[in-house]
Each structure stands twice: as structure tokens, then as C-alpha cells.
Structure 1
């Protein structure tokens, strides 16, 4: 695989500045991931703050039971043995549990976590374990119930999981039955091109879904299948056993909730004051915690000394909420602004791997860490890749089109190429014809008006029809030219659909199994070896 760096358009001005112009946003974050001193400072803090986190041994045992069910690799158990020992650090990142692992960015995040942990272990000469935090407590099922592959007809096919209607609950609590799994599985089988790898891929996915009652469990099994041998520890944030360990952290969040809210509000004002957009809502009176009531995940607010939801379904005093926490911890859940503090309270986080949207909203949390006696970890941008198949690169070379051309001016470049193939220049020829017609026709209309004024609107209508016919002929001429160059235009279309499907970066759309189907199940390990070091730069990998 050939690897080169090339820029990818950013989705967030704040994250772009964090990655490329850190000095401009340092007050919002604190430590620079490129600064060696920041890493040493972080390690020192972790060694001094063991008491602020949950018990390592208890955490490791909870995670061992979970991973034994979904990610039962010896390398993972070895990593858990290390995590239980004081002095071991962790690189942590997470994502929602997408259908069949979701888009490529999930895979790249896992790769970043693994490689960063390996690099840190060598740098500090001490154990550093990789941890993937599955956000199973999130309740937006429509965000995770689909994925995409490219069909042989160069269409972007959406594979969607239909779930039975029910409460607005966590993804990990939404039951998925055999019929729903079969429907999605059959879609994947239909859209994946036939290959020698396809039967084994479908076997993997069928086994994962057959043994899973929800989307999160299947997601974990597939991630474990791909990365378990690298010692990647998995956790589901909706795991009831994990929730029991989190009770003391939730207690602090409830007892110090006003301070947390004030910290979020101040950070939000600072961010918007610098001209950036907020990537997460900072609502007045927001408790930034969820309470699960009769299966529904309700976002809590503070009103008249009570914790309540927008509809007033629940209303609890602070003491009542704490009592509910101690007796029913499974009813509690973080939102995007308190999850970072929960992660920091659970693991000795050397750094956390984040996408650009996450980097943006983590800026809201810096002061909130301090309210709970914590410190924001180093934020490490997720590695970013675009995969270019060998034939695709040949097409790009043939047409003289670059990655930046495809990213910023693809339609224009395609049209320019097509126009250059014909001596008969369609656009200027037809534009000249329209001008000549109007020059001849306008005087005629005026002369007809001297005969009878009623002839003017008739003439104008007739003019419009003639111009419509000229445009129709122009369209047909374009179609004829495109038909003549059909093979080459299909190659252009393959470039566009492969690199920016649905107008988005490839890593945000396509599923990893499309590429494993094409290149083989071992290809993921080749990809990891090819991207053998961390960099915040976007890289193009020619397969």
C-alpha cells in the first residue's frame, strides 16, 4: 500500500484550529497533544491521582466479564490483567454502536486507539492499554441503525435495521429479533459484490447477529473479531454492572450539579465569544444527566429545586434523586457533557481519541473536570484516511485529476474533460444560436406589434417555445456526447462515488466489510501495518 498525506476538508472550525493552530484555542483545552511536556505532565498527574478513580481491580473484573462474552481474546485478558495493576495507563476512545460496525471512521478510531497505546507504551516504558468505549447508552437509534456499501452499479446502497417501535430507550436496551437481523443481513448479502471473501464475511456477521439481542452486542462482537488480537478492551456504557461502579461518580455529578452547569455555561460563552459554533447544547438549568423511567431515557433539568424532565414526567429532589441512584443505578445515564468526566473517573486516561465533532464539544467540558477534582486528558485527533483502489488511481492519472480536484471541483473537472473531447463545443455553439435567434426575432416582434398589439404576447410565447426546443436539442446533444464517452464517464463516476459518496468523505459513509469483501479478511491487518504511526494529517492509502 502506498501512503501519502493530503488535506481533507474540515467539518469544524474549532477542531481545525485545535489540530493546526493550537495557540489560538489553548485556553479552551489546556494541553497540546504535540507537546512532549504535556504528555509528561499528564503521566505525572495520573500517578498522583489514583484515588480519584474507581478501584482498578473491580473495574477490570467487570470488563473481563463483558469481554468474555463478546471479545474473548487472550490478548484482551492480558490487557485487563495490566489494567488492574497500578501504574498502567489507558488510551480511550469511543463511538456509538453502528450496524455492522457502521462507517469506516469507527475502524479508524479503533486503529488510532491501538496504535497510540502501543506508541505510548514504548515512549514511557510502561503498560498502556487500548480501550474502546461503546456508547450503548445513547438513545438515537436512527443514527446507528444503518450503514452503506457501493454496489457494482456504482450506487451507494443503504442497509437499514428496522426495530419494533417502543420506548425512547438506550440503543443497548432496544431488542433486535431474528426477523430484524435477517432483514439487514439479507440486504448486505444482496448488495455486497460476489467475491471469494463474501461467504466468510457473511458467516462472521451472521454469527455476531445470531448471538446478539441488540445492536451494541453485535457491534462489540464484530469489533472484537477485528481487533481483539491487539488487546483492544471493549466496554458498553449501558452495562448494568459498570453502572454500579459509577455510583460514586454520579453522586458527585448530582451534588455538584450547579457548579457543573456554571462551568458549562462559562465555557460555552467563551467558545461563542471567539466566533465558534457550539457542537452540543448547553441549556439553562440543564442537569446533563439522563434518568430512565419506564424504558424512556429522559434528560433532566433543574426547576424549583427539583430534578425534572421537559414534560414533567418525573420530579425528584436532590436527596430523592440520590436515593434512586443508590437503589437503582441502572436508571442513570450520562449525556455528551458528563460522559467525559465519567470516562476520566473510570480509567487512568493518558489521552482520549476523538473525532472533530467530539474535539469541538469537549471544549465545553474543561472547567467541568475541575469541579469534580479531575483534569481534562490530552485530546488526540482520530486518524483519518481515504482509500483509493489501484484501478481508481489509474483513472485519476488518466484524466489528470487530483484528490483535491475530486474534493472541491469534481463536477466542474468532469465537465471540462468531457468538453475537451469534442471539436463541436456544445455550450458556446448553442449560446451563439440563442443570441442569433433573439437578434433576429426581437425586431420581428416589434414589427408585428405595429400590426396588432395582440400579436406581441403570442410572439413572446412563440419565442419561449423555440428557446425551449433549442435547450431540448442541447440536452440531447449532451446526452449523445456522453453516450459516445460512456465508458470513460463511468470511470469518472467511480472516482466520485468511491472518494466522496453522497458528497461526504468516504470514511463517514462506507462500511469496512465492503473493503474486506474486496481485499480479504486479513486486509485490516495490512491497513494497520501501513499506518504504523500516529499522525493528525489526513492520509491517502492506495490499496
Structure 2
């Protein structure tokens, strides 16, 4: 059950841009459309309904029917798929890479946030249908980012040749990964289910995209999740006019770069920078940038090139060979989906916030942007340890040395704060400065140097005293360090390191229903959850 809720800003794990966005800082209002509050969805629905054609709905429906052809779907997912042709149906979307066996734990939180938001919207807007969508990043080519997951602190990795869009990768070699996983996961009914899930997903399907669809459909099918693969020729036909304008007018570059530069001037880190052309070219084992070279267009690091007319003709005939990059993928998604809201992590929302003027230029409604749920899961046993240590959950988010120092200062029977001594020393030096004013500048500098030296000496003594107390209270420090390391592996967020399988071993089939019950997508705080 929920143990605590901590504002994202106070966790110190989220950027100033995201924290200021969540606070709806005035200077950021021009970077988004409607802030994700329940009452604001009425305007978002109206905008999307007026711009999204029935023809696009029919193309989307037909494409998804083909994508799901060899998969069993739940009644809820089937109803959601069929409802997409209706003008009163809208989607809420999250996206994620095809990480091996879901990768980090937050894969679950993204999808559950999406599912739960559709429930909230249905309760508040009963005349409409809302479909949760998982957009598979099948066209990504960063294989090193997805070819592993962590299990009990070990890296379970798939080694194979890299090259091209990962969605079409065959699953050869994953039998060896399955052997390693099986040996590490241990015995028990929950472990046997996980082994079966891995085996059916990765050894029972020929491509990484199909394996990932099976996995996500098995975990979330009963909640009506719809899974979209954008690497689809019929869907890309809908996007062809936008790709044509990108090639000829460099719209993304011209619209996004000024926004990115303004964010940078305002002190924020820019997540991505646009290129002159934000499209890749897909071929066997290849996903490379298209760049302009004088009057011709070339595929970077290859001999492939076209004249302008040749390229446009190729785009019309084979749009599936053109792939949007991180800058254009959001637009592609919004063109082919009747989408209201995108749910993502802090890094994702940071680059979405650069895109609003781009969407306006191409006349596509900009979706709401919602930060996904973040969760720290702990057990009753861990909760008892935390209570005994008399430390708050908020304090556990501190860097380890800060946590230890704060705790040692609190429980020590000696005051490890030399601020009174610093104040006394500065008072003494006031008289010296009065005397120095009556002499020459060399004496004044000597007084200043002596003051700095003695203040530094106090700082050194304070640190030595703190270190001595840490040794004296070493048992307490060890227990505090141990519990933080359990909850924050590698001194980072649990959700960014652990795989869901570790948690599933403890809670089994109850895990996802419990998360569905407790994750509120509009809460806007980091949830600490005891299960």
C-alpha cells in the first residue's frame, strides 16, 4: 500500500525543465498546449476530433488488423481495436524501445499510467472511448541500449550482430539468453511462469517486434492495451506528405532549433537538436541519415543517392523505406493516431517540449504531455528496517554520503556543527580588521589570509569529527547503507535498474493488478509503495 508520495522536485532525480513544467511555470506555457488536468481534456478532444479524418481511422484499423493477424487478443483489446474507426474514440499513448524482456522496471509504469489514464477519462467523459496504446520503437537502431536487462545485479545480455532497425531482427541466439535467465531465476511457480513467458515470447517468434508484441499483449492484454508498430507501409503512406515537406523545406529544423536555443538561454538542458533533414533511410541491415549534398540527396556512409525528383518518386512508391528520427517520430505518431496525450519519462517530455511550434506549422494538434508514474517498491520487511532506523523515505532519495552525514549528525551525542565556532572566529577578526584599516594594505591582506586559514581549519576539524563519529556509529551506518542500496541499486532509481521479473518473483500474478490499483497517473508525485 502507498507509504509516501514525494514531489518530483524533492527527489533530485528530475531535471529543472521537467520540474518547472510540472509547476506550470509561466515562462514554459508557450512550449505546450493543454496541461494534463482532467478538465482540460475537453478542449483536446475537440481539437483532435476536428482534425482527424475518418479515412485515417480506417487506414489505422486495417493496419492494426494485419499487425495482430497471428496474435490472440482479449475481448477488451478487440473492442478497442474495432472502436478506432469511430469518431468518438481517442487514444492515450506511451512509447518504449524493444528492450529485452521489458528492460527496466519503468516499462510497466509507462503502460500502467496509460491504461489508468484511459480509465479516468472514461469516468469523466463517458460519451467517448479511450484506448491505451503502446507504440513499439521498432525502427530504432540503438541495439546496445536494448540488448540486455539486469537480474539480481547481473547483466543478462543478448550478443548478436548489430545493424538496421531492431524490430526486424531475428531472435537467433536468444535460446542461450534463455538458458542463462533460467539458471539465474531459480525455482518456484512464479519463476516457472517467467521462464515460460520468456520462452514463448522470444523462442516462439521470429522477430524482435513480434516477440515484444507477444510479451506486452500477454502482460496487459486483459486491460485492452493496443500495440502499434509504426514500421508499416500503409501507416507511412499517411505520413508521406509530411516526409515530403521535411525533405524539401526542412520544416523541423527551422521550427525546432529556435525553441531549443531559447530553452538553452533560459538555463535548461536541451534534450535533442534537430538536423536539417530528420529522416533515416531503411534497407537490409541499414538505418542511416538522409542528408543533402548540393543538388542531390545521399544516405550517409553509403553510395546511395538521388536527385530531388528521384527521391520524391521513391518516397511515393516505397514510403516504408523512410524512417522518422526522434524529432519526427512524435509527429508521425500524432498523424496516424487519434491521440490526446503522450505519456513518457522526463527525458522524453523534455524533447517533446521543443516541438510545439513544429506541430503548429504543419497543422497537427499538439498532444498533452504527461510525466509517467514513478514508483519505489519496498516490502514490509524493508519498511520495518526503515522505521527502526528512524529515517524518512524522502531522505532515502539523498546521495548516500549526504544521507549518512545527516543521520550521523542527528543521532550523535556530540554536536557536529561548528557554525557557532565559525561565528565566534569571525567576530574576533572584526577587531583585527579595524586595526588593519589603520595600517597598510599588506597587513590587511595578511589578516584576510589568516581568517581564511582558520576557517578552513575549522572545516577540516568538523569533517574529522564527523568521520570519527561515523566510525563510532558504524553499525548504524552499515544498516542505513544496506537498506538504501537495496532500494536504490547502483545509487540510482530502482525503476531504472531492476527488471520486473525480480519483483514478479515476490508477488506473482498479483503484481500488475496491485500496480493498476495504486498508480494514479494525474497525481504528479513520486509514489513509494509497500507491496
TM-score class, shorter = 0.7 to 0.9
Closer, same or farther: CA 414–232 of 1 in aligned 2, 3 Å: same
- Is the counterpart of residue 342 in structure 1 residue 332 in structure 2? yes
Q: 1:353 pairs with 333, 343, 348, which one?
A: 343
- Is the counterpart of residue 278 in structure 1 residue 270 in structure 2? yes
Q: 1:221 pairs with 214, 226, 229, which one?
A: 214
8 Å contact from structure 2 (residues 37, 522) kept in 1 = no
Closer, same or farther: CA 139–374 of 1 in aligned 2, 3 Å: same
Corresponding residue number in structure 2 for 1:260 = 252
Corresponding residue number in structure 1 for 2:460 = none
Alignment of 1:32-431 (within 5 A): 32-34=35-37, 36=39, 38-51=40-53, 55-70=56-71, 72-125=73-126, 126-150=128-152, 156-163=153-160, 165-166=161-162, 168-177=163-172, 180-255=173-248, 257-283=249-275, 286-311=276-301, 313-411=303-401, 413-414=403-404
Corresponding residue number in structure 2 for 1:14 = 17
TM-score (norm 2): 0.82
What residue ranges of structure 2 are gaps of 5+ in the alignment? 414-466
Closer, same or farther: CA 512–261 of 1 in aligned 2, 3 Å: same
Counterpart-to-counterpart distance in 2, 1:271 and 1:535: 26
8 Å contact from structure 1 (residues 399, 417) kept in 2 = no
Closer, same or farther: CA 491–68 of 1 in aligned 2, 3 Å: farther
Closer, same or farther: CA 326–46 of 1 in aligned 2, 3 Å: same
Counterpart-to-counterpart distance in 2, 1:497 and 1:67: 42
TM-score (norm 1): 0.81
SS of 2:397's equivalent in the other structure is: helix
Moved more, 379-388 or 189-198: 189-198
Deviation of 1:397 after TM superposition, in Å, equals: 1.1
Counterpart-to-counterpart distance in 2, 1:342 and 1:528: 29
SS of 1:117's equivalent in the other structure is: helix
Deviation of 1:490 after TM superposition, in Å, equals: 7.0
Counterpart-to-counterpart distance in 1, 2:487 and 2:208: 28
- Is the counterpart of residue 5 in structure 1 residue 1 in structure 2? no
Deviation of 1:245 after TM superposition, in Å, equals: 4.5
List, as ranges, runs of 4+ consecutive aligned residues in structure 1 with deviation greater than 6 Å: 415-423, 478-482
Corresponding residue number in structure 1 for 2:527 = 539
Deviation of 1:479 after TM superposition, in Å, equals: 10
Deviation of 1:75 after TM superposition, in Å, equals: 1.3
1:196-238 deviation line (CA, Å, top 9, x unaligned): 3111111111111112223332222111111111111001222
- Provide the aligned length of Structure 1 versus Structure 2: 474
SS of 2:93's equivalent in the other structure is: strand
8 Å contact from structure 2 (residues 90, 338) kept in 1 = yes
8 Å contact from structure 1 (residues 109, 353) kept in 2 = yes
Deviation of 1:489 after TM superposition, in Å, equals: 7.2
Q: Give the root-mean-square deviation of aligned CA atoms.
A: 2.8
8 Å contact from structure 1 (residues 195, 518) kept in 2 = no
